[in-house]
Structure 1
Amino acid sequence: MADVDVNRADVLEAWAEPLEAWLTDSAISEGRSRRTVLAFSRFSAWVTGRGLGAEDVNEDVIDEYVDLERQRSGSRVPAAAQYLPLVKRFLAAHGVLVLRPPLSRRRDGRPRLREGPLDEAVLDLVGWLQGQGYAAGTVVSVACTAARLSSWMAAQGSGVQDLDAALLARFVASQARSRRRRHPSSARRIVTVRKFLLATGLLAPPSLPPPEAPTPAEQLLQEWTAHLCTQRGVSRGWANETRRWVAGFLAELAVDSDRNLIWDGVDAAAVNRYVARQGQGYSLASRRHLVSAMRGLLDWAFLTGRVNCSMSAGILRPAPAAPALPHGPTTVQVQALIAAADTSTPAGLRDRAIVILISRLALRAGEVAALGLDDLHWHDGRLVIHGKGERVLTLPLPSDVGQALVDYLRDGRPAGAADRAVFTRLRPPLVGLSSKGVSGVVAHLAAGAGLGTVHAHALRHTAATAVLAAGGSLIEARELLGHARTDTTMVYARTDLVALRELVTSWGKVPGP
């Protein structure tokens, strides 16, 4: 760089040689160093011409000079804009000036808006996504998709009132085939945008087709299930279950000119043929439900005058057979399930607590999903379970269950969960797990432990048999399982081998007192 003339009678000439040495030490290329020194020389002459001293040089002065160079050259990036940033760093390193702190480029998830009909909604979308617990990167990408939608709607001449599913579909298609800027990710992100638009009422829910007029069989089913719920006190779930069993039978009945079902040809033999045909392939318990449903329907038909005699007694039950023994994972297998949960992760802490909770307290998957923070009563060591058939159970909180819950709630449950469910999703939206989600947790751990297919319900059997094996009674097992009737729990009596062994007469001894 001997050809560079930096010996000028200006206020910064003393820094020319140190700048050259600093550039060399900083491994700046020779060409870039030469141009930087030339740019510094011109800047130094400009400073001298303005009557400024070295103590007056700061970033504002340098930026003013760069702006003047832009105006003079007509270029957006003149030499001063390219090389004086290096001069700034050099002068700051030698204490001549103090650099301004870098400007934050964070926009808190807000995209750049271009005056569209959804601009205000996009800002609301950012807050909604953050409230749902979405990651910062996801917030930005979804909000940018919404901003592009707003800009596209403005270009199409569409307003908020034009929002519908067809418009969103056209937007996604335009994003996929655009020649200038393609955004194929819009097809995924628009799903979250649609959820926000529906939640805020900006997008009307899809209109359902008008319901078709119910058939005579459907009308009768509605009357019968209403009778079961109001007059018999049957739960809505059981009413729907019985409705499913008898729907096929009613659909086979003929209809008269007044759209009434014709019951004249209904007799016990016809019903038994339907039961035998409909029950094929079902378990013994399911076939019994079928018979009970048909008997209940025929009793109601007799009471309402649709048939002239009671024929429910003529409906034959399926051949008796001993139901299979309840079978659940062994204690060793349960421990393998628990060990399969990686407790170094939030998901592992949650999954471990779920397995311990079910295997110790015999909860159903739906009961685990419905468990809320307000159901945990730590001060008196109990928890409230919302069981099947709207029953509310109060169970003790064992120490191992309580410790597993504490570990999860302290280090695993998301801080921004959207509701007060104990077990929540770990990815947005951070809402409570469904019963299918709880079952999926057990199935996932079973696969990881090499146990094959293990259903969450099987852990209930493990807990019930453990109660009996420890000397508990059927009443205690019933309370734990939340059964409405003791006869439902009687099947576990055959698994209590210790109690049954006392009833066996020794070989060669005559039974007796």
Structure 2
Amino acid sequence: MKQPIAGDERVAIIAHDDAQAIAAFVERVWSEDGLADRTLEAYRQDLEGLARWLATRGRNLAAASREDLSSYHAAQPVSVRSMARRQSSFRRFYAHLARNEPSRENPTLLMQRPKTPRGLPKALAEREVEALLAAPDAGTPLGQRDRAMLELMYASGLRVSELVELSLGNYNPRQGVLRVTGKGGKDRLVPVGQVALEHIDRYLSTVRPLHLKPGSRPDPLFLSVRGQGMTRQMFWTIVKRHAQSVGILARRVSPHVLRHSFATHLLNHGADLRALQMLLGHSALSTTQIYTLVAREGLKRLHAAHHPRG
């Protein structure tokens, strides 16, 4: 193959065989592991980036060597976390190829994995959460909807995708629970606090009917003014706007920060770690255990601020 000029990797065409191999891989991990759409798309983008880079060098994914992958990482620098995700994509893809052809050499086997720093989740103080929840103007329809969403997010520790994808049929006010579909398509039952229930019921009786449009799909629990389901971006904007209105710095708050605050505050008030794991929908307890570090850091700050010898 003729050597392309510099920069061609940005526009290089993915070889037909590579495109087919990527599609087959994504289909397989979706059917076997039930991964979320965002994870599958990240895998696809990582592999397509590698395929384009290899194409400019007259190679394809199947023939890539460990040296090729090392050169690609050096030529396409990214953050440590992005590097870890990229390597995960490559490891799974080449394990998939080796599974189909056991004699095939896996170029990722001896590659060193980057060490990702384990950052602690950022949680708001309880007084900040109270201020944020009270920020929407409950005298307006949109204020009632926003208050109900914020109350539910904090009361149940939902992921933002779980919140906006909630269906009306999965809300059971009589039992005070939600059926939530989390990562990997796994369902779990999540309790809803009494305060959140009251705000949701008020929204359902007085606001949601105003947003239902003729012919609109009535399934989503929370609707936009156009009668459609909310999006993650919409709720992100809602959280930022109300946080700014009560003086919380925008960079400190996001929908996920409410989930972190839910977990941290439960632990601070004596919640059991196993129960918290079930509430958050974590598949491994080790994922939940990081919140014990957050709670410990909070106790250290409390001691330093108030103890006479802190």
Task: Establish whether TM, by shorter chain, passes 0.5.
Answer: yes
What per-residue deviation string (whole Å, max 9, x for no partner) do you get for residues 439-487 of structure 1? Answer: 2221121122221312111100000111211122322222121222222
- Aligned residues of 2:14 and 2:52 also touching (Cα < 8 A): no
Does the aligned pair in 2 maintain the 1:353–1:405 contact within 8 Å? yes
Q: Contact 2:155/2:192 (CA < 8 Å) preserved in 1?
A: no
Partner letter of residue 96 of structure 2? W
Partner of 1:235 in structure 2? 35
2:45 to 240, 244, 260: 244
2:196 is the alignment partner of 1:396? no
TM-score normalised according to structure 1 size? 0.50
Given that 2:50 and 2:72 are in contact with CA atoms closer than 8 Å, whether structure 1 keeps it comes out as yes
The residue number in structure 2 matching 1:295 is 91
Q: Matches of 2:288 and 2:161 in 1, distance apart?
A: 19
Q: Distance in 2 between matches of 1:298 and 1:388?
A: 24
Q: Does 1:333 align with 2:134?
A: no
Equivalent position to 2:82, from 286, 289, 297: 286
Q: Distance in 2 between matches of 1:251 and 1:452?
A: 41
Report the Cα offset of residue 398 of structure 1: 1.2
**Residues 1:249 and 1:443: Cα distance change in structure 2 (over 3 Å):** same
| Unpaired segments ≥5 residues, structure 1 | 1-211, 502-513
Q: CA deviation at 1:295?
A: 1.6
- 2:265 paired with 1:466: yes
| Mapped contact 2:138–2:144 kept (Cα < 8 A) | yes
- 1:402-441 equivalence runs, <5 A: 402-415=197-210, 417=212, 418=216, 419-426=218-225, 429-441=226-238
Whole-Å separation in 1 of the counterparts to 2:26 and 2:116: 30
Match of 1:317 in 2: 113
- d(CA) in 2 for partners of 1:287, 1:478: 28
Distance in 2 (CA, whole Å) between partners of 1:481 and 1:351 is: 22
CA contact (8 A) 1:216 1:255 kept: no
- 1:355 aligned residue (116, 137, 150): 150
Matched, 1:450 2:251: no
Mark the structure with the bigger radius of gyration.
1
Q: What CA deviation, in whole Å up to 9, does each residue of 1:140-169 have, x standing for no partner?
A: xxxxxxxxxxxxxxxxxxxxxxxxxxxxxx
CA 1:498–1:414: 2 relative to 1, 3 Å: same
SS across alignment from 1:394: strand
Deviation for aligned residue 1:331: 1.1
Q: Percent of pairs identical after alignment?
A: 24
Q: Provide the aligned length of Structure 1 versus Structure 2.
A: 281
CA separation in 2, counterparts of 1:356 and 1:308? Answer: 53
SS at match of 1:432: coil
Shift of 1:378: 2.2
Alpha-carbon distance change, 491 to 356 in structure 1, aligned in 2, over 3 angstroms? same
C-alpha distance in structure 1 between counterparts of 2:15 and 2:69, whole Å: 24
Aligned-partner SS, 2:30: helix
C-alpha distance in 2, partners of 1:324/1:245? 24
**Shift of the alpha carbon at 1:416?**
5.7
**Which residue of 1 is the match for residue 9 of structure 2?**
none
Q: Which one-letter code corresponds to 2:26 in the other structure?
A: T
CA contact (8 A) 1:369 1:434 kept: yes
Alpha-carbon spacing, 1:234–1:409, altered in 2? closer, same or farther (3 Å): closer
Q: Any gaps of 5 or more consecutive residues in structure 2?
A: 1-12, 301-310
Moved over 6 A (4+): 498-501
Q: Secondary structure at the match of 1:383?
A: strand
| Residue type at the aligned position of 1:354 | M
Q: Does the C-alpha gap of structure 1 residues 421 and 332 become closer, same or farther in structure 2, counting only changes over 3 Å? A: same
SS in 1 for 2:188: strand
**Is the 8 Å Cα contact of residues 371 and 421 (structure 1) preserved in structure 2?**
yes
Aligned-pair distance for 1:306?
A: 9.7
CA gap 1:222/1:236 in 2 versus in 1, 3 angstroms: farther
- Partner of 2:208: helix, strand, or coil? coil
Distance 2:18 2:298 in 1: 51
1:52-451 matched pairs, under 5 angstroms: 215-230=16-31, 232-235=32-35, 237=37, 238-254=39-55, 261=60, 264=63, 266-278=64-76, 280-282=77-79, 284-305=80-101, 308-318=104-114, 320-415=115-210, 417=212, 418=216, 419-426=218-225, 429-451=226-248
Q: Which has the higher contact order (CA 8 A, sep 6+)?
A: 2
Could you give the per-residue CA deviations for residues 355-387 of structure 1, whole angstroms, max 9, x where no partner exists?
111112111222221223222212222222222
User: What is the root-mean-square deviation of aligned Cα atoms in Å?
Assistant: 3.0
Aligned CA distance change for structure 1 residues 263 and 492 (closer, same or farther; 3 Å): same
